[in-house]
Chains A and B, each alone.
Chain A
Amino acid sequence: MAEPRLLDDDLVSQARGGDAEARNELVRRHRAAAYRFALQLTGNREDAADVTQEAMIRFLDTLQRFEDGRPVLPWLFRIVRNKSYDLGRRQKVRRAESLDELLEKGMPAPVQRDGDPAARLERRDLRRRVWSALGRLPDKQREILVLREYQDLSYGEIGSVLGVPTGTVMSRLHRARRALRDLLAEPDRREGRVR
């Protein structure tokens, strides 16, 4: 019979006590989420891999300061966010890859399963345009949209990553959504397209 999966809390306690296997398990468990978040912030795989590596080192180094009972992901995302900005300051220019190169292969999203090819194409096109517009937003707006739309964090968790109250999360998120929508509307207006 397989051993029951340990909770993050237990792993964190064991890792703090010097258990190497617990440290490895924490890394294995959360590395993909950290990588995806880094990818959404940096826009390219190479930088995302670098940021993830550095963030995981920092995460393990700071486990002693981690508060018991708190979820691991917001803490880790906070580190990823800081590391991404450090990298952004060094590089100055954001090198974004196209969405098609970054998508999970062989795993269509649930909304693609309907039978209308035109609607499917339209949604795929919208996904590409959203990704591209996301890269043109200011960092603060991009990060909050990524945390909510792509990482599915609650307002409380987003507040914990960004260090702001929940009310601020809602207003900042709304400003970011409007800015994204305005960016998406620009080419539509120029080309006379109707969504």
Chain B
Amino acid sequence: MNEYRKTPFDESLFSGYLDGELTQAEEQKVRLHLEDDPEARALVAELRAIRQAARSTRLAAPADEEWREAPRSGASRFLRRSGWLLAIGWAVAVLGFALWGAATSPESWWERALVAGAVGGPLLLFSSVLLDRLKVMKTDRYGRVRR
């Protein structure tokens, strides 16, 4: 049995070996171990294949022009979310009031239609903006970054 086998082999040296982070003596120790142990050779080959797969993965990052504004702070995001919640609450309250008013009003049908149009028009426009905004949030990669 070889001399190096007298002490237990530290398997983490395989990682240092793959990464070129070992001293010459440690590297020699690993080489000797690999010559002697086919299971260790198979393990190192597997780890090397995984390592190469990871290292050849190139992730995309936003281009410079997609980071136009200075980073937005957490407080700013909180205020914006609160603003949207308030606006949605306002729209629901106005719509409910308008429907109740139209249903119970003693006015003629055309007067009720005028009121419904005055309230419903802006609400429909608001809903359209809201829906667009929700759609953009789902599909626009860097929406939060740009605004």
Contact = CB atoms under 8 A, between A and B. Distances in A.
Interface of A: 28, 31-32, 35-36, 39-40, 45-46, 49-50, 52-54, 56-57, 99, 102-105, 107, 109-112, 123, 126-127, 130-131, 134, 145, 148-150, 152, 154-155, 166, 170-171, 173-175, 177, 180-181, 184, 195
Interface of B: 11-16, 19, 21, 43, 46-47, 49-62, 64, 67, 71-74, 141-142, 144-145
A50 B21 contact: no
A103 B71 contact: no
Contacts, number: 109
B49 A36 contact: no
B19 A171 contact: no
Given A57-B71, A112-B56, A174-B15, 19 more contacts: A32-B62, A45-B141, A46-B141, A49-B145, A56-B71, A104-B60, A109-B58, A111-B56, A145-B54, A148-B19, A149-B54, A170-B16, A173-B12, A173-B15, A174-B14, A177-B51, A181-B46, A195-B46, A195-B49
A124 to B, nearest CB: 9
Contacts of A154: 21
Contacts of B49: 126, 195
